A and B are shown apart, each in its own frame.
Chain A
Amino acid sequence: MSNQSVHGSRSSARDRADERESTAAVRLEGVTHEYGSTGGRFRSGDERTVTALRDVSFDVPEGMIVGLEGPSGSGKSTVLHAVAGLLVPTSGSVELRETDLAALSDSERTRVRRHHIGIVFQRFHLLPSLSARANVALPLVQSGVPRADRRARATALLEEVGLGDRTTHLPGELSGGERQRVAIARALSTDPDVIVADEPTGELDTATGADVLELLTDVGRDRAVLVASHDEATLEVADRVVTLCDGRVDDVR
């Protein structure tokens, strides 16, 4: 697990991008996905097929934050789900460190997600009956990490995201910004290679959103981060922005 601090001076995203190697942590190659088709484990149940992605290809290099923008229904979330291994595209490949997720079984994809991918949801999706610390330690339970180590790791992560005094609070006792920080800490608990964030500031006010973005920027120093958002401020922290429209890559800048 990396020991880097999630706090630190914030440099220009473009400058950092120039300084890093461009090793692709995630590579999407010709990804097409149709909901309602036979591909993928999770189908809508609707007999009609809806094409969510059409021949989408791009890389997310290690140490780089890649933003995904586009109107609602453009396929941003589908891309995130494919990268997170929650969805198997109808065709094309999604490689995580040169491992094609589509070639893996469900259980193998789950294992990859557990060890290599952290997910941050717009609505946090913390378990309401667990404390902040237990939520952060959740992925470590399945990894078989001993209880004392789980607690220590979760406490350290909560301290790093500025919630050292909130470890025993339930999600319902935290503000929106605090909940998202807990969610980010949870995504970092297994020290993943890739962070996938879906509208991470969508439920937050501007000031709180800025704090969360700063946190994401910090955690993205040694990882590949893929962020989907409508929000310009969020996309500004990205080193690269991929624009989707009707399931196609419309622009990369």
Chain B
Amino acid sequence: MSDDDGELPKAVDSRRRTRWSGIVGLTLGRWWRRATRTTTGRIVSTVAAVALTIALLVVITGVALALADGGVTTGDDADVRVIPEDSGTLSSVNGVEGPRLGETNERAATIRAQDGVDHASPVLVETAQLEASDAEPRTVRLVGVVPDEEPRTVAGLPTGELEAGDPHYANGSYDGPREGEIVLSPTAAERLDADAGDDIPVSIGGAGETERVDTAAPSVTVTVAAVADEGSGTGDAPVALVHLSELQSYSGGDDGQLADRLLIWGETEAAQSAASGAYPTAAVEVAGGTDPSALFDDGLAFATSVIALLVGVTICASFVATTMGMTVNEDRRTLAVLESVGFPTHSQLAVVAVSTGITTLVGSIAGVGLGMVGIVGVNAAANATVAPGAVAHFHPLLVPYAIGVALLSGLVAVPYPLAVAARTSVLEEVGR
């Protein structure tokens, strides 16, 4: 009395496929009607719980991505960025240097000569002490760039306020004339109580130093070329732009033409190709494309994302297990009816498992959407308050990641509703 007695293997396979597609279709149809037509709203509340959890996961992972991608000093409008492998958040912590790119001035010049490349500039970030009007030293992050005639943004500041070019570099001799210009962020200007045209003594050293002048470094004076407008991408960060070679000279970075990154403007493909040619072993990032693998290189970002993952899976699995268990408990009669019309136990459990899977999947998709909105919201809130600039990044890989996490949660949760289903007594249910 087998279903498959006398059937050819191909026919058996076809029947099996039809059966499973029928069970999935049946479950989908029931799920949809129950989600849209029942008044208890159990399915909807489960979907909402999953969605909120996944949205939280997406937002926190987005924040971790932003952490891994660097702080405000990466706020540029370049099309391609070249960064050393293994660079990370720690490299921007005062007094702790990460890996840097070498020969940057030369190679940037080579890159600029490529077709499709509009401009290329190494970027060096150094912490310095600038003397305020009250003669007290203030810590400011100096960002060295090579400006050109086009208005561009680096570290949230307009490079166009600096004289184009980098004459002090002088083909690597570092003996050309100094421009001595500096463009201050609003916060830096406020700290220094400086306006355009003011002269400010600078010493390269680092935050936390109590000495006004680092004796190991030359003390120079720069003139404020401009103060960026409020609303520039620097937010509350005390940042300032200077010419690259001058900063390299102040900081000792001229020995090896060091820079933290290299920015390229132009056609993406040409810029990428030029960047890869100049730095074959460095990481090449395309604008708007945060590299998710950076999470693994950054301890804080990695820990944040792992915690988000664990919390997400735990909360999501708990919600799904509890609510789906309650749903199945209310739905025992359906399982009894399925048994009475000839659905074996494994098919009944498949109905429950597929139903749980659909709930989780729909919740995760909604959660990704909510998470994207959340990231926009977090960035907007940060811009409006304490940390202007992108404090959370969205990456397309977050979509499969979030859905995968939700499905994993569903997998963790599914044994409970299955156990509830397996305890159903058909006689008790149909006899009621």
Q: A-side interface residues toward B, CB under 8 Å?
A: 42, 77, 81, 84, 86-87, 99, 106-108, 110-116, 119, 121, 123, 125-127, 129-130, 134, 138-147, 150, 170, 186, 190
B383–chain A nearest beta-carbon distance, Å: 47
Residues of B within 8 A of A147 (CB): 18, 21-22, 25
Known: A139-B342, A141-B23, A144-B16. A86 touches B1 (CB 8 A): no
A86–B337 alpha-carbon span in the complex (Å): 11
Q: Does B210 contact A (CB under 8 A)?
A: no
6 A-B Cβ contacts within 8 A? A114-B341, A125-B337, A129-B38, A138-B337, A142-B341, A144-B15
A81 x B30 contact (CB < 8 A): no
Size range of the chain B interface in the assembly: 35 or more
A140–B26 alpha-carbon span in the complex (Å): 11
Query: Which residue of A is nearest B340, CB measured?
Result: A119
A113 x B1 contact (CB < 8 A): no
Q: A112-B1, A125-B340, A144-B14 are in contact. List 4 more A-B contacts (CB 8 A).
A: A141-B23, A141-B26, A142-B347, A190-B342
Out of B2, B340, B344, B345, which one reaches A84, CB within 8 Å? B340
B422–chain A nearest beta-carbon distance, Å: 12
A81 x B427 contact (CB < 8 A): yes
A145–B14 alpha-carbon span in the complex (Å): 10
Out of A42, A144, A190, which one reaches B426, CB within 8 Å? A42
Residues of B within 8 A of A134 (CB): 26, 29
A129 x B3 contact (CB < 8 A): no
Residue of A110, A112, A123 contacting most chain B CB atoms (<10 Å): A110
Residue of A138, A141, A150 contacting most chain B CB atoms (<10 Å): A141
Residues of B within 8 A of A99 (CB): 1
B342–chain A nearest beta-carbon distance, Å: 2
A130–B15 alpha-carbon span in the complex (Å): 23
B18 x A138 contact (CB < 8 A): no
B1 x A111 contact (CB < 8 A): yes
A186 x B341 contact (CB < 8 A): yes
Q: Does B303 contact A (CB under 8 A)?
A: no
Residues of A within 8 A of B34 (CB): 129
Query: Which residue of A is nearest B341, CB measured?
Result: A139
Known: A111-B2, A134-B26, A144-B15. A87 touches B344 (CB 8 A): no
Q: Does B431 contact A (CB under 8 A)?
A: yes
Question: Which residues of B in the span 8-57 have a Cβ within 8 Å of any Cβ on A?
Answer: 14-16, 18-19, 21-23, 25-26, 29-30, 33-34, 37-38
B33 x A111 contact (CB < 8 A): no
B342 x A115 contact (CB < 8 A): yes
A127 x B3 contact (CB < 8 A): no
Query: Which residue of B is nearest A110, CB measured?
Result: B344
A112–B1 alpha-carbon span in the complex (Å): 7
Residues of B within 8 A of A42 (CB): 425-428
Residues of B within 8 A of A81 (CB): 427
B355–chain A nearest beta-carbon distance, Å: 11
A86–B431 alpha-carbon span in the complex (Å): 12
Question: Which residues of B in the span 399-431 have a Cβ within 8 Å of any Cβ on A?
Answer: 425-428, 430-431
Known: A42-B425, A125-B337, A127-B334. A141 touches B19 (CB 8 A): yes
A145 x B431 contact (CB < 8 A): no
Residues of B within 8 A of A84 (CB): 340
Known: A86-B427, A99-B1, A115-B1. A110 touches B19 (CB 8 A): no
A157–chain B nearest beta-carbon distance, Å: 14
Out of B18, B338, B344, which one reaches A145, CB within 8 Å? B18
B22 x A144 contact (CB < 8 A): yes
A96–chain B nearest beta-carbon distance, Å: 9
A106–B2 alpha-carbon span in the complex (Å): 13
Residues of A within 8 A of B23 (CB): 141-142
B427 x A87 contact (CB < 8 A): yes
Q: Does B148 contact A (CB under 8 A)?
A: no
Residues of B within 8 A of A111 (CB): 1-3, 342, 344
Out of A112, A119, A125, which one reaches B333, CB within 8 Å? A125
A225–chain B nearest beta-carbon distance, Å: 17
A115–B18 alpha-carbon span in the complex (Å): 17
B26 x A146 contact (CB < 8 A): no
Residues of B within 8 A of A112 (CB): 1
1/0 per residue B94-105: CB within 8 Å of A?
Answer: 000000000000
B31–chain A nearest beta-carbon distance, Å: 8
Residues of A within 8 A of B21 (CB): 147
A41–chain B nearest beta-carbon distance, Å: 9
A35–B257 alpha-carbon span in the complex (Å): 89
A220–B268 alpha-carbon span in the complex (Å): 77
Query: Which residue of B is nearest A141, CB measured?
Result: B22
Out of A77, A126, A142, A150, which one reaches B342, CB within 8 Å? A142
A146 x B18 contact (CB < 8 A): yes
Residues of B within 8 A of A138 (CB): 26, 337-338, 341
Out of B14, B337, B347, B425, which one reaches A127, CB within 8 Å? B337
Residue of B340, B342, B343 contacting most chain A CB atoms (<10 Å): B342
Residue of A81, A87, A99, A125 contacting most chain B CB atoms (<10 Å): A125
A99–B2 alpha-carbon span in the complex (Å): 13
Known: A42-B425, A144-B15. A119 touches B341 (CB 8 A): yes
Known: A141-B22, A150-B22. A129 touches B340 (CB 8 A): no
Q: Does B339 contact A (CB under 8 A)?
A: yes
Residues of A within 8 A of B25 (CB): 147
B19 x A144 contact (CB < 8 A): yes
B28–chain A nearest beta-carbon distance, Å: 11
Residues of B within 8 A of A190 (CB): 342
A142 x B343 contact (CB < 8 A): yes
A87–B14 alpha-carbon span in the complex (Å): 32
Known: A134-B26, A141-B19. A129 touches B341 (CB 8 A): no
B398–chain A nearest beta-carbon distance, Å: 34
B104–chain A nearest beta-carbon distance, Å: 65
Residues of B within 8 A of A115 (CB): 1, 3, 342
A77 x B431 contact (CB < 8 A): yes
A30–chain B nearest beta-carbon distance, Å: 22
Out of A77, A108, A110, A150, which one reaches B343, CB within 8 Å? A110
Known: A77-B431, A142-B347, A144-B15. A110 touches B22 (CB 8 A): no
Residue of B14, B15, B23, B343 contacting most chain A CB atoms (<10 Å): B343
